[in-house]
Amino acid sequence: MKKDIDKKLDIYKLTTPEEILKYYQDWTKKDKYNQDMVHLNYVAPKETVLVLKKYALDSNCKILDAGCGTGLVGVELKKFGYSNIDGVDFSQDMLDLVPKNIYKKIEKIDLNKPLKFNNNMYDVITCVGTFTYGHVKSHALDELIRITKNKGLICFTINEGIYEKYGFDKKIKELTNNKSWNVKEFFKSNYIVNKEVNAWLCLAEIVK
C-alpha cells in the first residue's frame, strides 16, 4: 500500500536548496522547528543513537554529526556520555539553535558537495534526518566513508519515501559489493511517528 510519504510534510514538496533554506529560515523562528519535532514525535535521533551505542563502545570516540540541524542527535549522544562531537549542517538558521556544550565545533557545510575534511578523520559519523526529500543524495555516502577511519562506524537514516527514488537501494548494494563497508544493522525504524513516516536505519563498519 502506497503511503504517499511525499505529501506528509510541506518540506517534502521542496526541491531546490534555495527553497529549503528559506523554509528552514521561517521554521526556526521562535524555536518552532524544535517544538514541531516534539509534536510530530520525531524519534529518529533517539532510535539511531540507541543502535549506535551498541557498537561505539568508546565514549571518547571522535564523532561527526552530519546534517546536525538544531542538535537533536547531539543531545541524545550526550545522554550516553559521548562528548567529542562535531556538527555540520547546510542551514545556518538551524545551527543557530544548537544548544551550547553539545558540539566541539559546528560548521555550515553542504553535504552534497566534496567535504574539506581529511581522509580518516572520524571514528563515527551519524547522519539522521538528512537523507530525505530535496536534501542530501546517495553519492554523499562516498565522502562520509572517505572521512571515516578503517573500522569506524557510520549510522544513518533514509526516509522510506526516497529510498528507491533517490537510488539509496542501489548505493547501499554497491558499497556492500565493493567491500567499502560491512552492514551490521539495517531495518525499518520509527522516524516521524505522528505522521506515520518510517525510515531505513543503517549502521555499517567501514573497511579500508
Provide the β-strand partners of residue 156.
Answer: 127, 202
What superfamily does domain 12-206 belong to in CATH?
A: Vaccinia Virus protein VP39 (3.40.50.150)
> Of 52, 51, 44, 50, whose CA–CA distance to 68 is shortest?
44
Distances from the Cα of 24 to the Cα of 42, 93, 131, 187, 192, angstroms: 16, 7, 16, 29, 18
Task: Return the domain boundaries, the chain.
Answer: 12-206
Tens-place pLDDT, residues 46-87: 999 999 999 999 999 999 999 999 999 999 999 999 999 999
Please write the tens of the pLDDT for every residue from 84-100.
Answer: 999 999 999 999 999 99
Identity of the amino acid at 47: E
With CA atoms as reference, report the closest residue to 133 among 47, 175, 192: 192
pTM of the full structure: 0.96
The amino acid at residue 195 is K
